[in-house]
Structure 1
């Protein structure tokens, strides 16, 4: 029974460390999001999200940490006039704290706002198959 309690505490410690790493990196690279990428209703540590993105991330149980992890450690792809950030298994090999977030995909609009978020391990290959241009 004690072994199980230790693993939970270790997991909590790893998650806290991962949050600190993401937050510290986010503060260093804050200017890369553009001129006005933050919501008034949320704290300054998080990019602006549309109402749709807020609703979908809540429905899909995608945490703020998973979104930040995808934005900073994920692969950036430009497709259909939007920017996709997808956190692949390859991206988290050296960071075991982020393994549980593998497959998280963030769709960001041109204005820097997060349009939607979803989790799909195969999203990278699906996004690569999309057209590079928007349809008229």
Structure 2
């Protein structure tokens, strides 16, 4: 597992480091998602807790204007899936209707 340096997410004044699983490194590489994009997604994405996982979905309207157009395009509709019991990214993908899709999932897996 690879630890992303300086990728911290503050939740109630608690910081933690995020690690990438081998699967997420492979998928990120295939999809052209680099560490900078992942760090920004962790900062500006919307957290959704479903099925014992944490989905972080990024929409362009939630991004500040200071982010460049090229980077904004990479971030738009990006979804990171984090393990609910650890600080590791399981996978990442892009989906145009990500929040709607995630919200339709059942709350818990059997």
Gaps of at least 5 residues in structure 2 are: 1-5
Deviations 1:33-81 (A, max 9, x none): 3xxx4xxxxxxxxx21111001111011111111111111010000111
Q: Give the 3-state SS of the residue equivalent to 2:20 in structure 1.
A: coil
- What is the deviation of 1:31? 4.1
CA distance in 2, matches of 1:63, 1:102: 14
- What is the deviation of 1:93? 5.3
Corresponding position of 2:72: 99
Larger radius of gyration: 1
Q: 1:57 to 1:27 in 2, by over 3 A?
A: closer
Bigger relative CO (Cα 8 Å, ≥ 6 apart): 2
Q: How does 1:117-132 map to 2 (within 5 A)?
A: 117-132=92-107
Gaps of at least 5 residues in structure 1 are: 1-22, 38-46
Corresponding position of 1:115: 90
**How many pairs are equivalent?**
99
TM-score computed with the length of structure 2 as normaliser: 0.77
